[in-house]
């Protein structure tokens, strides 16, 4: 057996012997892992790179421009002039052929090296528009990061909520099963301490608890898989969270006016709108500049060569198939389509006006988003505090009812009510804490935070 095969077998043995590495993460670590792994963010980063490359492309138009064209063709037979009927005039005659009809080969090269001197602002305006587009794409990255943070918190808090709910329901169901066993025993022994209706009451409560327990287990699995997906560890990996239970996050400090001011200053959408306005204005100016020429300097030249035609050293005779010339130039170049340019100007102007209206809506809409999240935070903060007191009272009721039932002082239907009330109140408390934590996350997102 060769060494490579031995290594493969050892690796397979180790993989089957040792379990997959279990990774435990805090919320902060999960957020950071997701920001590093989320392909949606990486996609936005690459689109930003495209925009940055576009800036380089625009700036490159202000540099040296090279244009060249070379081709091989056929030169016609020499006729007329000094060589009428093949007669010579004392100079070196030209020869033709070898192709039929006296045709000969012909190689031609035309070239130009041009440097723009002044473009009436075209390059400057297009450069400003391209830079504005870069800022817009950078804003998209921040927006995608903020969305990822909210998604991670939703999965993380959702998992804690489902896990705590499952633990709660399992605990309550265990107590309920204990009461059921007592009722069944009493009915079997006909002690008179329990009635058939007691059994039905507890069985009905058990059915309801079983439903909620199944739902909690499903949500727990889904939320954990979502967290695995976002953090990039893979669905087959083992991932656990560091928090032992779901707890409410601290209440954000600050007034509504403070949060609204922060949103106007920090929201990436506001920066995007400003960059978009700057880019649109520059684009309108660039389209208007298209009506003007480009002033340039450079060198242009050409060379033609036909192997069967000799060069004539005669300034009065020009052979377009056998010559060479180079010259520096200064010129003006127009490339104008009046109907197209005017339409492009109108289009750019309309897009600028549309962005103006979008800016007006954002200036009103963003404070509304902040206000909505802020008020939800305040309402759910108070609700989870009140539900905490209610859940504590419901638990005391459940414990007292079970104690009285075991002592023969309480009926089974009252025990079932106490168990259901505690389970529902505690589950509602957990859901409200989850809602509160997520509204805090939404408030952070609304004011422009990405953490």
Asked whether the beta carbons of 59 and 251 are under 8 A apart, the reply is no
* Structural domain ending residue among the three candidates 274, 307, 333: 333
Residue 451 placed within a domain: no
Whether 40 and 188 share a structural domain: yes
Q: pLDDT tens, 51-84?
A: 899 899 888 888 899 999 999 999 887 765 555 4
Give the DSSP H/E element, type plus range, for residue 109.
strand 104-118
Whether 199 and 303 share a structural domain: no
Output the CA torsion sign for 138, 144, 147, 149. Answer: negative
Q: Which two tokens stand for residue 273?
A: 């709108």
| β partners of residue 71 | 108
SS3 string, 18-35, reads: CCCCEEEECHHHHHHHHH
Q: pLDDT tens, 130-182?
A: 888 898 889 888 989 999 999 999 999 999 999 999 998 888 888 888 888 88
Residue 243 placed within a domain: yes
pLDDT of residue 295: 93
Whether 226 and 350 share a structural domain: yes
Quick check: 3 pLDDT over 70? no
Whether 205 and 264 share a structural domain: yes
pTM for the model: 0.77
Residue 142 placed within a domain: yes
> Could you give the dihedral angle defined by the CA atoms of residues 199, 205, 209 and 212, in that order, rounded to the nearest 10 degrees?
140
Q: Could you list the residue range(s) of the whole structural domain that residue 313 is in?
A: 63-118+295-333
Residue 199 placed within a domain: yes
Q: Which two tokens stand for residue 7?
A: 């290594």
- Give the rounded percent of residues in the chain with a pLDDT score beyond 90: 35
Whether 253 and 398 share a structural domain: yes
Whether 237 and 313 share a structural domain: no
Whether 109 and 130 share a structural domain: no
**How many folded domains does the chain comprise?**
2
φ, ψ dihedrals at 243, nearest 5° = -70, 135
Concatenate the DSSP letters of all residues of 312-353 into one string. Answer: P--TT---TTSEEEEEEEEEEE----HHHHHHHHHHHHHHHH
pLDDT of residue 252: 92
Please tell me which residue, 283 or 13, carries the higher pLDDT value: 283
pLDDT band, residue 7 (cuts 50/70/90)? very low
Whether 329 and 419 share a structural domain: no
Residue 10 placed within a domain: no
Q: pLDDT tens, 15-40?
A: 444 344 578 899 999 999 999 998 99
Residue 366 placed within a domain: yes
Q: pLDDT tens, 37-52?
A: 989 989 989 989 988 9
Residue 262, Cβ density class (10 Å: 0-12 exposed, 13-18 middle, ≥19 buried): middle
């Amino acid at each position: 057996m060769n060494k490579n095969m031995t290594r493969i077998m050892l690796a397979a043995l180790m993989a089957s012997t040792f379990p997959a590495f279990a990774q435990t993460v805090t919320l902060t670590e999960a957020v950071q892992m997701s920001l590093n792994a989320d392909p949606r963010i990486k996609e936005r980063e690459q689109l930003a790179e495209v925009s940055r490359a576009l800036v380089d492309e625009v700036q490159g138009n202000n540099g040296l421009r090279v244009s060249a064209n070379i081709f091989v063709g056929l030169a016609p037979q020499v006729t007329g002039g000094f060589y009428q009927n093949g007669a010579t005039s004392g100079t070196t005659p030209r020869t033709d052929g070898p192709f039929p009809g006296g045709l000969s080969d012909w190689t031609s090269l035309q070239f130009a090296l041009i440097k723009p001197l002044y473009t009436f602002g075209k390059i400057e305006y297009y450069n400003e528009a391209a830079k504005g587009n870069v800022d817009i794409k950078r804003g998209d990255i921040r927006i995608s990061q903020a969305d990822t943070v909210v998604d991670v918190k939703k999965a993380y808090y959702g998992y804690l909520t489902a896990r705590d709910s499952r633990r709660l329901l399992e605990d309550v169901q265990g107590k309920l099963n204990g009461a059921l066993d007592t009722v069944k025993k009493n009915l079997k022994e006909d002690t008179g301490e329990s009635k058939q209706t007691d059994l039905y009451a507890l069985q009905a409560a058990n059915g309801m608890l079983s439903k909620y327990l199944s739902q909690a287990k499903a949500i727990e699995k889904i939320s954990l898989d979502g967290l695995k997906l976002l953090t990039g560890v893979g669905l087959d990996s083992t991932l656990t969270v560091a928090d032992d239970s779901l707890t409410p996050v601290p209440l954000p400090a600050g007034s509504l006016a403070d949060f609204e001011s922060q949103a106007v200053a920090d929201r990436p959408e506001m920066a995007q709108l400003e960059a978009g306005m700057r880019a649109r204005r520059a684009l309108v100016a660039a389209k208007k500049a298209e009506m003007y020429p480009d002033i340039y300097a450079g060198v242009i030249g050409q060379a033609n060569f036909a192997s069967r035609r000799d060069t004539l050293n005669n300034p009065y005779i020009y052979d377009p198939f056998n010559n060479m010339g180079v010259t520096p130039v200064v010129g003006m170049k127009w490339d104008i389509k009046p109907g197209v340019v005017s339409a492009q100007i109108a289009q750019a102007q309309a897009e600028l006006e549309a962005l103006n209206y979008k800016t007006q809506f954002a200036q009103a809409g963003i404070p509304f988003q902040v206000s909505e999240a802020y008020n939800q935070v305040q309402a759910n903060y108070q609700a989870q505090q009140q539900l905490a007191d209610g859940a504590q009272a419901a638990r005391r009721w459940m414990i007292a009812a079970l104690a009285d039932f075991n002592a023969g002082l309480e009926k089974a239907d009252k025990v079932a009510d106490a168990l259901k009330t505690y389970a529902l109140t505690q589950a509602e408390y957990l859901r409200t804490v989850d809602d509160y934590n997520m509204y805090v996350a939404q408030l952070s997102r609304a004011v422009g935070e990405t953490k």
